[in-house]
Amino acid sequence: MAETVAQRLSSAGAANALELRGVSRMFGALAALSDITMTVRPGERRAVLGSNGAGKTTLFNCITGDFLPTSGTIRLFGEDVTAFPAYERIRRGLRRTYQISLLFGGLTVLDNIYLACRGVSRGRFSLIRPRRNDALMQAAEELLTAVHLTPARDTLVAELSYGQQRQLEIALALAGAPRFILFDEPAAGLSPAERRDLIDILSGLPEHIGYIIIEHDMDVALRVSERVTMMHNGRIFKEGSPEEIEEDPEVQALYLGGAHG
């Protein structure tokens, strides 16, 4: 089974990481997403910006399979995954972080990361073998370093600062060789120093890992992305390089007008 997935991934090497065609999502009469078409290359770093309720998180939910789109198609590394359950997308290297923290507060930082590594590895159902697996432990230690949490290695998650908790969430998303990650407002609630740390962490990710980051803070978004998509009322209304977006009068009007949260 794993071999089939690996073969499929390597044969899809030239494909886009993500390809959405005409994706819409209704909630009753509300169009949370309307006719979204976007393409993200493998390894590309994309920011999605937009006011509250623009549909950014719904976009993530459709990409991950947490929600099915009402219409349209979603391709992941060349494969049509529109109707696939979330775990099938995870198996293909897709990960996400959530807007709201979802961590095991009673465990240490390292235990959380170790469990995430074990969760996406093959022997995850072997509960009768509680002994630690060295390769997984080493992977966990590496992720600890990647998200700047080495000093908090043995700290209980409940005792971490808010910013450290968000760093830990990034480590969890990095477990198990991801190829594409969706970050939902990782900078929300962070101090200026923590924001700088986040920018460093994202910039230091291996080049082959692409991502989409939802971000309200223009400064962070423009620094961690090579392309920016602007959303409003469930639609994409602009896409461009960080420079183009920054200089765009329509974008400036929307942002300086206080429309963002």
Ligand X SMILES: Nc1ncnc2c1ncn2[C@@H]1O[C@H](COP(=O)(O)OP(=O)(O)OP(=O)(O)O)[C@@H](O)[C@H]1O
Give the binding site for Mg ion (CB under 5 A): 56-57
- Residue 25 or residue 118: which is nearer to ligand X going by CB? 25
Q: Which residue, 69 or 93, has its beta carbon nearer to ligand X?
A: 69
> Radius of gyration over alpha carbons of the chain, in Å?
19
Q: Which does residue 119 touch among ligand X, Mg ion, none (CB within 5 to 8 A, set by kind)?
A: none
| Contact set with ligand X (CB under 6 A) | 27, 30, 32, 50, 52-58, 99, 261
For residues 33 and 109, which CB has a smaller minimum distance to ligand X in the complex?
33
Nearest distance, CB of residue 188 and ligand X, angstroms: 9
Please report how close the Cβ of residue 100 comes to ligand X at its closest, in angstroms: 10
109-119 vs 134-146: helix crossing angle, rounded to 10: 120
Find which of ligand X, Mg ion, none residue 55 binds, CB within 5 to 8 Å per kind.
ligand X
| CB burial string 143-166: b at 16+ within 10 A, e below | bbebbbbeebeebebeebeebbbb
Cβ–Cβ < 8 Å for 23, 35:
yes
Minimum CB separation from ligand X for residue 68, in Å?
12
Smallest distance, Å, CB 96 to Mg ion? 12
Partner from ligand X, Mg ion, none contacting 163, C-beta within 5 to 8 A by type: none
With respect to ligand X, which residue has the nearer C-beta, 50 or 178?
50
- Shortest separation between residue 52's beta carbon and ligand X, angstroms: 4
Q: Which does 97 bind (CB under 5 to 8 A by kind): ligand X, Mg ion, none?
A: none
Q: If you search the block for the tokens 């996400």, which residue do you land on? A: 96
Nearest residue to Mg ion by CB is 57
53 binds, among Mg ion, ligand X, none (CB under 5 to 8 A by kind): ligand X
* Smallest distance from ligand X to CB 201, Å: 21
Q: How far is the CB of 32 from ligand X (least distance, A)?
A: 3
Q: 52 contacts which partner out of Mg ion, ligand X, none, CB within 5 to 8 A by kind?
A: ligand X
Is 63 or 149 the residue whose CB approaches ligand X more closely?
Answer: 63
- Does residue 20 contact residue 38 with C-beta atoms inside 8 Å? yes
86: left (phi over 0), alpha (psi -120 to 50) or beta: alpha
- The vertex-60 CA angle with 63 and 234, nearest 5°, equals 105
* Closer CB to ligand X, 46 or 56, in the complex: 56
Choice between 57 and 112, CB closer to ligand X: 57
First to last CA, the chain: 45
Q: Give the long-range contacts of residues 234-243, CB within 8 A, separation 24 or more.
A: 234/24, 234/25, 234/31, 234/32, 234/33, 234/34, 234/36, 234/54, 234/55, 234/58, 235/34, 235/35, 235/36, 235/55, 236/36, 236/37, 236/38, 239/38, 242/47
Cβ neighbour number for residue 86 with a 10 Å cutoff = 15
